[in-house]
C-alpha cells in the first residue's frame, strides 16, 4: 500500500485529475496524470481505480488494488 502522503485524500482532487489530466491507455488499465496546483509540496500522487466491469465484487477490486 502507498504511504498516505502519496494517496488522494478527497473526491474533488480525483475529479480534477480526471477532468484536466492526460490519458494513456493500455489493454489492462488507463493512467491519467495531471499537475494539481493545490498540492505543490508533493512530487506525485496515485490512485488505483478498478472498474466494476473488471471485477463486479468490491472485495475482488480491493484485492486487485493491493497487489
pLDDT for residue 59 is more than 80: yes
- The residue extents of the domains of the chain are 4-66
| CA dihedral of residues 48, 4, 11, 37 (deg, nearest 10) | -100
Interval 7-53: pLDDT, tens: 777 888 888 888 888 888 777 677 888 877 766 777 777 777 778 88
Q: What pLDDT was estimated at residue 28?
A: 67
CA gap 51, 59 in Å, rounded: 12
**Grid cell at residue 51:** 472498474
Q: What pLDDT was estimated at residue 39?
A: 64
The answer for residues whose C-beta is within 8 angstroms of residue 65's C-beta and 6 or more apart is 48, 50
Backbone φ, ψ for residue 26 (5° rounding): -135, 175
User: Checking phi first, is residue 44 left (phi over 0); if not, alpha (psi -120 to 50) or beta?
Assistant: beta
Amino acid at each position: 500500500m502507498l504511504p498516505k502522503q502519496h494517496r488522494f485524500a478527497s473526491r474533488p482532487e480525483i475529479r480534477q485529475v480526471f477532468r484536466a489530466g492526460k490519458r494513456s491507455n493500455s489493454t489492462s488499465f488507463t493512467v491519467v496524470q495531471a499537475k494539481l496546483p493545490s498540492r505543490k509540496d508533493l512530487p506525485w500522487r496515485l490512485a488505483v481505480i478498478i472498474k466494476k466491469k473488471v471485477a463486479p465484487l468490491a472485495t475482488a477490486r480491493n484485492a486487485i488494488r493491493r497487489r
